[in-house]
Structure 1
Amino acid sequence: MLKKVSTFTFLLLILTSLLTSCEPGGDDGPQANGGNFGWGASGLSIEKVKSKMNNVPAIITKPSSTDGGIYISRTQHYEEPACHGRPAFWSDHFEIAADSDSIPRSILQKIVAMAEVNLEMFAGHLNLNNTDLITVAFGGRIGICVLNRTSSHGSGHGSALVISAYNSNADNGFSYEYTLHKHELMHILDSQFNHNEHGFNVTPGWWVEGLAELSSGAPILSAKQWASYHNKYAPSRNIIADGQAESGSYNAYPLYTTIVAYLQSQGLGPSAFKLFIQKDRWHGLDTIDTSPCPSDRVFTGACVAPANVMNNFEYQFNDILNSSTSPLSSYGEFETNYYNLVLNWLQNR
């Protein structure tokens, strides 16, 4: 996991991104966004993005005095274990390791540079410092595990990003790779915003992926596309009430992106968003199961937040709504009428 608009919308946006960022399969293959690099990158060309990356200092070897210099298990986080016990490297805000000696250090540097630039862009968009976006990451750095594979793959949960070494071999090259990384980093930051060190589901799927997509530059649908996509991927389902479309595939992501963009338009701007994401809603839920996810990475009860998480989401939504100038009256109104609300907004943009 999204754009800029009113107070209430932005707050809401962040809430949902927490819930889906814990999806077990990761985000293999989100669509490239046609050159829009998302939050904090307005007007930037590929060349300017690459120039920013070139200015990121070189990674350093993790000191042997810290964890023996190796990348160790974040036991409270859903994470690919392939990099555990591998030599690790540091940048200012990230710790990176590869699952294979065949991945050159230059690839690790490129991936870290993308991460540092995206972190700075997100912070700038929200008028925050980079470190404000990292609240519970292990050792104060977000982990990155790089897999030796040529297929496109990315996932982000809790405090760890897992990414393929050669995503640039995918269609659309650098643009695809960069925006994929930005999408996954938003999942992590969404957990960090809410002091969620586990990456468990605590917000609806449409919110999680909609926020990650919108913030990484994905386009919103036209009114005609909205009706067509909804009829195809959620013909008999209320996306908001049920948490996602009938098809949970990447094909439904444009629906989620458009819903989140609509919410932004209803009164949620960066300032309100900033206040909202810094609220610690996670630890106020006393029935959360803090057990790690099963070692086989199958998501069962230990990885699913209780019902009061969603009750809390709705409460926060209404609380933000009440203090905004949004024309929405309540979460209930949004849940019941979101299809027509979004359609009317798209028709009148």
Structure 2
Amino acid sequence: MAASPRPPWRKTASRLIVEIDRCTHTFEVASYSLHKGTTAGTSLPSATFAAGGHDWCLAFFPNGDDTTTEEGKDHVSVHLKLVSNATGKVTVAMELKLVNQITGVSSTGVTYRSTVVFESKTLTSGAKFNKSELEVMPYLKDDRVVIECNLRVPIGMVQGSSTVCEIQVPPSDLSGDLGKLLDCEEGKDVAFKVAGEIIRAHRIVLAVRLPVFKAELYGPMSDTSEGIIITVDDMQPVVFRALLRFIYTDSLPAMDDLDGEEVSEMIKHLLVAADRYAMEWMKLLCESILCKRLDVESAATTLALADQHNCAKLKDVCIEFINSLGRNRSVEKFIASQGYRHLKRACPALFVDMWEKVAKSRRI
């Protein structure tokens, strides 16, 4: 019976929108010089204006709002006041600017911005403008000062939701199809002799995937005759088959039938094969697997392997692992391992480099 089609994949989305009332109020203070004699803390109110369902006004302090010090007389203060009664707190974003009376445009340089939370009939901390800036052209003209107040007051929220139906696209089966191509004998036109065993493959696939094979199979010195057999030395058939599997599918073969140590050995053989055929991505994948399987028994042999095949990242991980052993029994077990003795005997330069890096790391 055919499987029933899957329902389309549904995707939902929601959005919260804050509705905002915007208002600009211009407050002109005429006869500015007549107010310079007022005491600090004395304010001149603007007319009441509405914004966001509330009533507001501006308060202009010609000699500042600070009654405790003389410093306040060097500036004027402008406050925003909530005039009407509010049932709760009111949030408002305000912007206070001096207006250039030559151009009629509010100044971007002399500006105060703040977001304030009001309660009923409260006054903000307000803005301060230095008199040295305000009492000159173009802000003071014909003995008057003009202040622009821009308010943005939230008045509500709107929620919306939508449902978008999507068609699920399954992952590509290209690697699976190429794996099937490798498993069948159809179209195979090149053979490799590996430890006496004949393993066949497709020239074009190998050439497309690896420059090494492209040069060998299609280069000027290649042999295009039928029945040509290429001998592969120093490699086991199981490793070469795994190499081909990766070339075709970009994945390593399943190793469920191997125990932990056998898996590590297989990965080491594949790393060597990847280095031989310049398969950098496969080589890095093998390095990643080996670094996760490090222990006191395998650290030295893995370090030697990394050094021999120019695996700089794996080499650094090995030395870091050895350094982490400290001075406990793990170090003693590491030194007593067969890999350590081989490293000391066969790779003296690497052996010295390892301990120098460990010593330097511990001094730091």
TM-score range, shorter chain: under 0.3
Q: Which has the higher strand share?
A: 2
Structure with greater contact order relative to length (CA < 8 Å, sep ≥ 6): 1
Which structure would you say has the larger Rg?
Answer: 2
